[in-house]
Amino acid sequence: MSILVVGSVAFDDVTSPSGTVKNILGGAATYFSLAASYFTQVRVVAVVGEDFTGEHEAVFTRRKIDIRGIEHAPGKTFRWGGNYSDNLNEAKTTFTDLNVFESFHPQIPKEYADTQFLFLANIQPTLQAKVRRSMNGVRLTGCDTMNYWINSARNDLAATLKLVDVLLINDTEVKMLAHETNLPRAAQKVLAMGPQALVIKHGEYGATIFFREGAFGIGRHPFRAPTLPIDEVKDPTGAGDSFAGGFMGYIASQEELNREVLKRALFYGGVMGSFAVERFGTERLQSLTREEIEERFQIFRELTHLE
Amino acid sequence: MSILVVGSVAFDDVTSPSGTVKNILGGAATYFSLAASYFTQVRVVAVVGEDFTGEHEAVFTRRKIDIRGIEHAPGKTFRWGGNYSDNLNEAKTTFTDLNVFESFHPQIPKEYADTQFLFLANIQPTLQAKVRRSMNGVRLTGCDTMNYWINSARNDLAATLKLVDVLLINDTEVKMLAHETNLPRAAQKVLAMGPQALVIKHGEYGATIFFREGAFGIGRHPFRAPTLPIDEVKDPTGAGDSFAGGFMGYIASQEELNREVLKRALFYGGVMGSFAVERFGTERLQSLTREEIEERFQIFRELTHLE
């Protein structure tokens, strides 16, 4: 089944202990769609400026990503600068130029009307809700957000959470959203806000999925997929979006929609996140093979598998 | 097989978001031996002062722990105060009164000479080395340390590491010891210093064991045992020592000494650590049953187990 992602396409300047790069293709929708493209057909709704060239377009089309939903607007593409010199786990933002992204009003092409899997990357919660409401045939909606919206648009975000099936956020965000420092209790509070399942990303330690009682089948307990940095972490940018791409892409590729599928999807999320950080920008995600992905899936599986 | 722990017995004052307690029995050797006592016969070498009463002794003897190695010295027992109000993951030390612990020179009773499993809790590295050298029949030695010794007694610690089989430390300590921020690379550097295996504790995310090439059998990859706080975290004091007690106690209870045993031991470590933090001090560790331990082992196992 095809999956639609709505989010940002950007040009990034990144500095990490491994070096500095400028003007590289990034943005949540870019990382997500490249990661998901190894599992299923991907559609993108985003906005770019006049500086988005055929070369950038080819990064998507070489992975057979459907970019009919990328709107070309007058002006410049969203630009972001981040520095990981002090802390590989969190970027210090050096600049944010929203440019054409400032007035982004996602338009879903009519060719995308039959979309069954939807991912709402980190944009204003009201826009996320509007997109979700406009898509009637969707079977499963995933959603991301960030501390900025949790703090400044809590009511809008709460309304959006009633419309999504799976929320994917990190430890800090879930505790902030729930006003609760104990992780399992914070998870229960967020699930009570709407989603059927909550994926909490723990950075280099993997991710945990918590389920609403009875959601996606029967089971008492949460599930954890561990990760381990295999190679050097060169650039953490896009790790979370690549995680979401692997997670949602795998789900969209399966016939069934149950807990076992979501558990395996959690592992594929970790796998794609771990590939993303091995090179600057989207470089590693552009040239993977399904065999490399399966090999790392097995390594992560064996990492916690008792005989 | 019996296991011997050499370390501190203390009285602690602890403040956490759940409240304040004063003068409760603590210390690395106490947490370790209580946790290990659910798996095997435990022997303790430590020093206490005149304020250590029959009531305190009974905490050990009710769990059939052999305390012939606890030396009674004139003066007061080691006392420590910690506050977790700001950060449940790290105590702010409010006071340290070494008292009788200041001149602790571990004496191994001759009845302990046949000990096969040894755990050197966090004491001065030179004392750890001396104990290890005095025990000829030991099959496996586990060892803890802390940032203080890593910084102030690096050479002594390096000498000790050549004598131990498994080092158990946390993320921060391994990176400090290796002068390396990438976890797998830091692990390789520490293994090159001597130990056959390295257990890195990740707090609420579990622990990872890295093996020296060829140590404890064949295998390419590290192994992770996840944990998840099941109940409220009331008092994190002793979590690491309880982890070590579960880990080493399980190993000592097994006939074989191979990677599968060490992997299961890593899960039991996480289980005992998760119980320890549910109540102040050693309360929870005093009254467990093996059934409760096995039940939580299954929960942690299922947490990452794919069908």
pLDDT in tens, B71-113: 999 999 999 999 998 888 889 999 999 999 999 999 999 999 9
pLDDT digits (tens, 9 = 90+) for A15-68: 999 999 999 999 999 999 999 999 999 999 999 999 999 999 999 999 999 999
Nearest to A183 among B182, B183, B204 (CB): B204
pLDDT attached to residue A253: 98
| Cβ-based contacts under 8 A for chains A and B | 78
A interface with B, Cβ–Cβ < 8 A, is 17, 88, 181-184, 202, 204-206, 208, 221-226, 228-230, 232-233, 260, 263-264, 267, 299, 301-307
Cβ proximity of A8 and A121 under 8 Å: yes
Nearest to B184 among A181, A182, A229 (CB): A229
B interface with A, Cβ–Cβ < 8 A, is 17, 88, 181-184, 202, 204-206, 208, 221-226, 228-230, 232-233, 260, 263-264, 267, 299, 301-307
**pLDDT more than 90, % of chain B:** 90
Collect contacts of A76-79 with beta carbons under 8 A, ≥24 apart: A76/A49, A76/A50, A76/A51, A76/A100, A77/A9, A77/A10, A77/A11, A77/A48, A77/A49, A77/A51, A77/A52, A77/A101, A78/A8, A78/A9, A78/A10, A78/A11, A78/A27, A78/A47, A79/A10, A79/A11, A79/A12, A79/A13
pLDDT attached to residue B28: 98
pLDDT attached to residue B88: 83
pLDDT attached to residue B86: 81
pLDDT digits (tens, 9 = 90+) for A203-256: 889 999 999 988 888 776 899 999 887 778 899 999 999 999 999 999 999 999
pLDDT attached to residue A134: 96
pLDDT attached to residue B129: 98
Question: Is B128 a residue whose pLDDT tops 90?
Answer: yes
Q: Which residue of A has its CA nearest to B85?
A: A181
pLDDT digits (tens, 9 = 90+) for A69-97: 999 999 999 999 999 988 888 899 999 99
Across the interface, do B206 and A205 touch by the CB < 8 Å criterion?
A: yes
pLDDT attached to residue A219: 77
pLDDT digits (tens, 9 = 90+) for B189-205: 999 999 999 999 998 89
pLDDT attached to residue A40: 98
pLDDT attached to residue B115: 96
pLDDT digits (tens, 9 = 90+) for A146-194: 999 999 999 999 999 999 999 999 999 999 999 998 899 999 999 999 9
How close, in Å, is residue B53 to chain A by CA atoms?
36
For the segment A286-301, the average pLDDT, to the nearest whole number, is 96
For the segment A8-13, the average pLDDT, to the nearest whole number, is 98
pLDDT attached to residue B217: 86
Mean pLDDT score of chain B, rounded to an integer?
95
For the segment B206-226, the average pLDDT, to the nearest whole number, is 90
Q: Which of A122-126, A290-294, B300-304 has the lowest mean pLDDT?
A: B300-304
Q: Is the ipTM of this complex over 0.95?
A: no
Across the interface, do A184 and B228 touch by the CB < 8 Å criterion?
A: yes
pLDDT digits (tens, 9 = 90+) for B15-58: 999 999 999 999 999 999 999 999 999 999 999 999 999 999 99
Mean pLDDT score of chain A, rounded to an integer?
95
pLDDT attached to residue B229: 76
**pLDDT more than 90, % of chain A:** 90
pLDDT attached to residue A254: 97
pLDDT attached to residue A228: 83
Q: Where are the alpha helices (DSSP H) in A153-279?
A: 154-161, 171-178, 183-191, 239-253, 259-276
> Which secondary structure element, helix H or strand E, spans residue A60, and what is its range?
helix A54-61
Across the interface, do B182 and A223 touch by the CB < 8 Å criterion?
A: no
How close, in Å, is residue B245 to chain A by CA atoms?
20
pLDDT digits (tens, 9 = 90+) for B236-248: 999 999 999 999 9
pLDDT attached to residue B274: 95
